[in-house]
Amino acid sequence: VFENLFSKLSLSLFSSLQIPQISYASTAPELSDNTRYDFFSRVVPPDSYQAQAMLDIVTAMGWNYVTTLASEGNYGESGVEAFVQISREMGGVCIAQSLKIPREPRPGEFDKIIRRLLETPHARAIIMFANEDDIRRVLDAAKRSNQTGHFLWVGSDSWGSKISPVIQQERVAEGAITILPKRATVEAFDRYFRSRSLSNNRRNVWFAEFWEENFGCKLGMHGKRPGSLKKCTGLEKVGRDSSYEQEGKVQFVMDAVYAMAHALHRMHRDYCFGYPGLCPRMSNINGKELLGYVRHVNFNGSAGTPVVFNQNGDAPGRYDIFQYQITNKSTAEYKVIGQWTNKLHLNVDAMRWRTGDPTLPVSVCSVPCQMGERKKIVKGVPCCWHCERCEGYHFQASEFSCELCPYEQRPDRNRTGCIPIPIIKLEWHSAWAAIPVFVAVLGILATSFVVVTFVRYNDTPIVRASGREMSYVLLTGIFLCYAITFLMIAAPSLAICSFRRVFLGLGMCFSYAALLTKTNRIHRIFEQGKKSVAAPRFISPASQLVITFSLISVQLLGVFVWFAVDPPHTVVDYGEQRTSNPEKARGVLKCDISDLSLICSLGYSILLMVTCTVYAIKTRGVPETFNEAKPIGFTMYTTCIIWLAFIPIFFGTAQSAERMYIQTTTLTISLSLSASVSLGMLYMPKVYVIILHPEQNVPKRKRSFKAIVTAATMSGNLVQKGSDRPNGEVKTELCESMETNTSSTKTTYVSYSNHAI
């Protein structure tokens, strides 16, 4: 500190006189300003180098949150200023606090400093530019506050490897990292200094005072030390009768002297070559000429290291790095753990911290965020942050940001990237598929059994009476209603999607086109019978087939138009099961058929079903001995109930995560139930009679069209008298009237058997 102060005072004089100066101890960073101190050079590195070295140490240890502590004055404040400035330029290290130790601290001042250091407990690393007396008192205050092991001291060269700051405070100073300009002991100086005595060193006016101080004695009545000390004999020997350790700056003093000597020698060789002594040319040199020679010296100094100066007159930065360690024998000492020569070389394995604790201590404001978390920086403190997890479908794109994954992807488990969303489809082994398939298989077997039975007994009265041609059309529709289940569950492809469009509504269209044709024929026959005895048109089997297939062709035409407007293809729907939890997100492989298209495809069949139901209601009063009106009516009523239940289930589950499964199962089950109702009510009774009661499978008595007219008329009378007579009486009257009418008829008319009706 005093060397820096003396240098500044002397520089003002030497700069004005343009006299080059070489310092062996001044380390103040501002002395590197070549515009102000242009004639100043030094063989010791400036404090800016040790600030850089200390910053490199802190960075290597992973400490990014530190506090600076400086003694008031040029040395401490300049060192901290250099450290703060370099840390800002390089980034990565934040200053939690910058505290200053007053020149004349009041009582309790150091305890107050410790309390302030504890206000930022995460900033455990303390960067100290302080004189050794302040260092000792700071350590003592930390010891009184029971903070042994909490602070991580990083001391400048004022601490170095000195013993005085840590005496009786070994535990609280344990683990302290200090730096010191690289130096070596000059053995020749030790031999010279140990040989000095009062008799051979009279030219040094301070040597007598040193003698008294070193040996604790008094040199006669004129000695400098007061008190009743023993008298010096003059035979004492340095290093034998007193402790001796070479002053650390001896090397630099010698290098400074040799640097000036080399500069003068080089100048003499250039200006006075071959001339002994000082030549006239050197008598008139100015300071700038000599400064040029000083700045260009290059030789190996007393420690064996090169002595050179940069353009600002600074020596290169070379430091030894120490750590204060307590060994296994409970003895404390400074251990060399690395060096800094424009670059840090640190042996981390040689470092020791609190006794028995091998872990590396930390001094960070915030712990690193985990994978999948982004840093939210605290305003104004880049080393402090909060960790926020990337939520939903976001992934960690960088250290500070989360980004949304592409629509068809989701974050991976660590949320550091995106992976494709798994694609699913309705599997055959799923319960959602197994139940419809089981029902469909039973339905196909039952339908096949009915068809085989009808084919085998094709010419029997019951088969003939049921209208063979229309029955086979209806059974085909029933079979297709069952078969569509397999197309709806099969893995979507271009072929499967095409077949779905064709056959989705075709089965129902076949069934209800046939039933509509039947009910319409019955209705027209009995309506015609009320008006005249002439038979209505288009009631023959061929006419019925033409009408039925005409109705079916409308469905096929709509499908072909659909193919032309929107060709079939498969899509992966990621929105259908895009849950809030990305791990459960799935893409659904499906045919590109919207709910509206699906309803339009089934809409025509539903229209046929409703129309058929209307005709079934109109023909509900027709005597069952003449037709199948009542079984058809019951079939249509039940079918309407099934599809009325289908609509809310299908559309009510549109937002469900299980939408694909529920809607597919609902649709296939509804189709199978519709087919089962038709099969059970219209054909199972006939099969029952054909197989189990063949005695009932006999021809029925033919009735003339006049008989049909009479039946129709009686049906009208039944409606009129229904409100006046009990049901039993009405039925009896109808039967009696029909029997009377048929028994009294003698004339032969064109006859219609039951199968024609």
273-282: per-residue pLDDT in tens?
888 888 888 8
Residue 43: closest CA among 404, 238, 317: 317
Task: Please state the separation of Cα 488 from the chain's center in Å.
Answer: 37
For residue 690, the surrounding DSSP H or E stretch is helix 684-692
For residue 402, the surrounding DSSP H or E stretch is strand 402-404
Distances (CA, A) of 458 to 48, 127, 446, 454, 495: 112, 108, 18, 5, 36
Q: What is the pLDDT of residue 405?
A: 92
pLDDT value at 120 more than 60:
yes
Residue burial 9-42, b: 16+ Cβ < 10 Å; e: rest:
eebeebbeeeebbbbbbbbbbbbbeeeebbbbbb
pLDDT value at 708 more than 60:
no
Identify the bridge partners of residue 653 per DSSP, sorted by sequence position.
none
Question: Rounded distance, CA 529 to CA 713, Å?
Answer: 8
Residue 446: closest CA among 470, 473, 481, 484: 481
pLDDT value at 54 more than 50:
yes
Residue 311: closest CA among 35, 48, 74: 35
Q: What is the pLDDT of residue 126?
A: 96
Here the tokens at position 103 are 């020149």
Residue 632 contacts residue 609 (beta carbons within 8 Å):
no
pLDDT value at 750 more than 50:
no
Question: Rounded distance, CA 357 to CA 610, Å?
Answer: 87
Q: Where are the alpha helices (DSSP H) in 410-540?
A: 431-456, 461-465, 468-489, 494-503, 506-531
Share of the chain above pLDDT 70, in %: 85
Here the tokens at position 673 are 């139930």
Q: What is the pLDDT of residue 534?
A: 60
> Which of 135-144, 211-220, 445-454 is the least confident region?
211-220
pLDDT value at 468 more than 90:
no
Question: Rounded distance, CA 97 to CA 126, Å?
Answer: 10
CA-CA-CA-CA torsion sign (120, 122, 124, 127)? negative
Cα pseudo-dihedral 254, 256, 261, 267, rounded to 10: 160
pLDDT value at 599 more than 70:
yes
pLDDT value at 625 more than 60:
no
Q: What is the pLDDT of residue 531?
A: 63
Q: Is 684 exposed, middle or buried (0-12, 13-18, 19+ CB in 10 A)?
A: middle
Q: Which residue has the tokens 């009041």?
A: 106
Residue 332 contacts residue 166 (beta carbons within 8 Å):
yes
* Mean pLDDT, range 531-536, rounded to an integer: 61
- For the stretch 408-419, pLDDT in tens is 899 998 899 999
* Mean pLDDT, range 521-534, rounded to an integer: 67
CA geometry: angle at 134 spanning 129 and 138, to 5°? Answer: 95
How crowded is residue 205: how many other Cβ atoms within 10 Å of its Cβ?
7
| Band of residue 536 on the pLDDT scale cut at 50, 70, 90 | low
Question: Rounded distance, CA 644 to CA 337, Å?
Answer: 86
| Band of residue 179 on the pLDDT scale cut at 50, 70, 90 | very high
Question: Rounded distance, CA 174 to CA 334, Å?
Answer: 10
CA geometry: angle at 572 spanning 571 and 573, to 5°? Answer: 110
Question: Rounded distance, CA 189 to CA 253, Å?
Answer: 11
Question: Rounded distance, CA 597 to CA 562, Å?
Answer: 9
Q: Which residue has the tokens 């004639």?
A: 39
Distances (CA, A) of 407 to 155, 478, 575, 584, 586: 56, 42, 9, 15, 11
pLDDT: which is higher, 289 or 223: 289
User: What is the 3-state secondary structure of 560-621?
Assistant: HHHHHHCCCCEEEEEEEECCCCHHHCEEEEEECCCHHHHHHHHHHHHHHHHHHHHHHHHCCC
Residue 477 contacts residue 555 (beta carbons within 8 Å):
no
For residue 47, the surrounding DSSP H or E stretch is helix 47-60
Question: Rounded distance, CA 389 to CA 375, Å?
Answer: 9
Here the tokens at position 372 are 């999948």
How crowded is residue 503: how many other Cβ atoms within 10 Å of its Cβ?
18
Q: What is the pLDDT of residue 714?
A: 54
Share of the chain above pLDDT 90, in %: 28
| Band of residue 486 on the pLDDT scale cut at 50, 70, 90 | very high
In the sheet that holds 65-71, the strands lie side by side as 94-101, 65-71, 125-129, 152-155, 177-181, 319-326, 332-340, 344-346
Question: Rounded distance, CA 643 to CA 598, Å?
Answer: 14
Three-class secondary structure of residue 722 per DSSP: coil
**Helix %, strand %, coil % for the chain, to 5?**
50, 15, 35
Task: Please state the separation of Cα 193 from the chain's center in Å.
Answer: 70
- For the stretch 208-248, pLDDT in tens is 888 888 888 888 765 555 665 788 888 889 888 888 888 87
Half-sphere exposure of 345 toward its Cβ, with a 13 Å CA cutoff? 9
Residues 6+ apart with CB under 8 A from 275: none
Residue 34 contacts residue 96 (beta carbons within 8 Å):
no
CA geometry: angle at 699 spanning 698 and 705, to 5°? Answer: 155
Domains of the chain, first to last:
45-182+316-350 (3.40.50.2300), 191-223+232-308 (3.40.50.2300), 373-420 (2.10.50.30), 431-539+597-697 (1.20.1070)
| Band of residue 722 on the pLDDT scale cut at 50, 70, 90 | very low
Residue 30: closest CA among 52, 66, 4: 4
Mean pLDDT of the chain: 82
Question: Rounded distance, CA 49 to CA 281, Å?
Answer: 39
pLDDT: which is higher, 598 or 391: 391
For residue 142, the surrounding DSSP H or E stretch is helix 132-144
> Which of 126-140, 150-164, 324-338, 741-755 is the least confident region?
741-755
Distances (CA, A) of 103 to 131, 165, 266, 728: 11, 17, 45, 126
Half-sphere exposure of 182 toward its Cβ, with a 13 Å CA cutoff? 20
pLDDT value at 621 more than 90:
no
Residue 608: closest CA among 520, 503, 498: 520
Q: What is the pLDDT of residue 235?
A: 86
Q: Which residue has the tokens 């085909």?
A: 476
Q: What is the pLDDT of residue 228?
A: 52
pLDDT value at 624 more than 60:
no
User: What is the 3-state secondary structure of 623-636?
Assistant: CCCCCCHHHHHHHH
Residues 6+ apart with CB under 8 A from 193: 238, 244, 246
Question: Rounded distance, CA 299 to CA 707, Å?
Answer: 142
Question: Rounded distance, CA 678 to CA 694, Å?
Answer: 23
Residue 412: what residue type? Answer: D
Question: Rounded distance, CA 684 to CA 690, Å?
Answer: 10
| Band of residue 98 on the pLDDT scale cut at 50, 70, 90 | very high
